Amino acid sequence: MSRDQRGPNEKLGTVLALAGISNAGLARRVNDLGAQRGLTLRYDKTSVARWVSKGMVPQGAAPHLIAAAIGQKLGRPVPLHEIGLADADPAPEVGLAFPRDIGEAVKSATDLYRLDLAGRRGGAGGIWQSLAGSFAVSAYATPVSRWLITPADSSVERPSPPPAAESGPDAEAEPAGEPCALEESGFTRVGHSDVAKLREAAEDARRWDSKYGGGDWRSSMVPECLRVDAAPLLLGSYSDEVGRALFGATAELTRLAGWMAFDTGQQEAAQRYYIQALRLARAAADVPLGGYVLASMSLQATYRGFADEGVDLAQAAVERNRGLATARTLSFFRLVEARAHAKAGDSAAAGAALRAAEGWLERSREGDADPSWLGFYSYDRFAADAAECYRDLKLPRQVRRFTEQALSRPTEEFVRSHGLRLVVSAVAELESGNLDAACAAGVRAVEVANRISSARTTEYVRDLLHRLEPYGDEPRVAELRERARPLLMTTA
């Protein structure tokens, strides 16, 4: 259904022409974006013609999907007013701001937490169905610039509001030991024990995410934890010292929520969580944690096809952390940089970044003050990412060498990573002409993928099957495809 608008929508027609999108092309893009969000849409070229020539305004999420589809083609966010759909139901731009003011930063983060839960209650796809625009790497420009210029707020103290005092000469003093008016009003005084609970929640969620994927039901409790536990604390009262710790713990949880959204294919949600995580890391005055968020942004940008921007994000993490982060931390940042260089096809830069990453890793020692969130990073992880770099650079011998090292110590703790490594191994075997070995690794990867909830792992399997299409008549390939069919059907 659509609402009437006065006259033709000339703005939409103009932008469509600028983007080079036909009516049928826009309808197809909108339907595809809707399907990614759990919506069944059946727009066609006639629908688009009505939007343009008669000025009809589609209802629900459609206006925002139209903006997202055009924005993807233009490579930038497209606001509704630019395409003449400003009268559509408003979509929240929540989570994209990186406020300079600490109070506004708290509001920006807590608004995101609350809106996410409201979306979850709203049905399939939740609030992310109606967010204006999809992933736009340009949305990272302002947050990164502001973080680089000022990576720490001067103070985050949030004093308690004065309790309401009774007026008049007969007002009595509050008896000792009784609840004060501040506590009765629900205003929270935050202590280190509150922060410790958030850090414990983050540690538990990291373990579950690694073992079962970002879509596991326990992992999905992270947004709930942010809304129910973290938001009231951010809005409470705390000293500068406690506040820094609180912002750091909340930044970890927020980055983790972004990572889980990224793993399950919710790129819009991931981007907003990452931006807020970076802002909270700045409030925490935790530059290495901010670098970790930038590294996560880099991996997302690279995964989405913006390798050059991925390089910039990773290098920003490296440069700001020189002399601050531990050797192991800098190693990981350089490894992420190598991933982006490799995806961009720059073998020389990728090789230099990999050598730097390995050098920093060799300098790390037991007893270094490595952050807790870096517990996943070891030589196995270095080897796994190095293998992916060489896969992107089409050097199968190097892929096989590093994949063998990455798979030498399989662990139940990092199940998803093990599955990804198996797919990379299968690709290397295929490119080396070893079809049997490729299919065998593929079968093992599918077995792992069926045990976890990870859209990223499924996409790796899908890519492997695409590479195997020239060998579709081979019984081994047909068997692998049949084994993967249930997995692919659940994400179709």
Report which of residues 168 and 406 the model is more confident about: 406
- Quote the longest CA-to-CA distance of the chain: 95
Residue 15 reports pLDDT greater than 80: yes
One-letter identity of residue 62: A
Instruction: Please give the model's pTM, rounded to 2 decimal places.
Output: 0.78
The pLDDT score that the predictor gives to residue 13 is 93
The pLDDT score that the predictor gives to residue 488 is 84
Query: Which of the residue ranges 16-25, 150-159, 329-338, 413-422 would you say has the lowest mean pLDDT?
Result: 413-422
Cβ atoms within 10 Å, residue 122: 12
Per the structure block, which two tokens stand in for 445? 């990867």
Report the distance separating Cα 330 and Cα 357, nearest Å. 7
pLDDT digits (tens, 9 = 90+) for 384-424: 999 999 999 999 999 999 998 888 776 667 888 888 989 99
One-letter identity of residue 80: L
Half-sphere exposure of 430 (CA within 13 A, CB side): 24
The pLDDT score that the predictor gives to residue 440 is 94
Query: Which of the residue ranges 174-183, 221-230, 292-301, 415-424 would you say has the lowest mean pLDDT?
Result: 174-183
The pLDDT score that the predictor gives to residue 216 is 60
What the chain holds in terms of domains, given with CATH numbers, is: 2-83 (1.10.260), 390-492 (no CATH)
The pLDDT score that the predictor gives to residue 171 is 47
The pLDDT score that the predictor gives to residue 121 is 38
The pLDDT score that the predictor gives to residue 33 is 80
Cβ atoms within 10 Å, residue 29: 19
Report which of residues 117 and 308 the model is more confident about: 308
Query: Which of the residue ranges 91-95, 104-108, 123-127 would you say has the lowest mean pLDDT?
Result: 123-127
The pLDDT score that the predictor gives to residue 88 is 63
The pLDDT score that the predictor gives to residue 302 is 97
pLDDT digits (tens, 9 = 90+) for 306-338: 999 999 999 999 999 999 999 999 999 999 999
- Taking a C-beta distance cutoff of 8 angstroms, is the pair 279, 98 a contact? yes
One-letter identity of residue 26: L
pLDDT digits (tens, 9 = 90+) for 425-435: 999 899 889 99
The pLDDT score that the predictor gives to residue 3 is 55
φ/ψ of residue 7, rounded to 5: 75, 175
The pLDDT score that the predictor gives to residue 25 is 94
Cα separation values, 137 from 133, 275, 277, 310, Å: 11, 11, 16, 9
Q: Where does the pLDDT of residue 154 fall: very low under 50, low under 70, confident under 90, or very high at 90 and above? A: very high
- Residue-wise burial string across 436-456, b where 16 or more C-beta atoms lie within 10 A, e elsewhere: ebbbbbbbbbbebbbebbbbb
Query: Which of the residue ranges 185-194, 209-218, 232-241, 320-329 would you say has the lowest mean pLDDT?
Result: 209-218
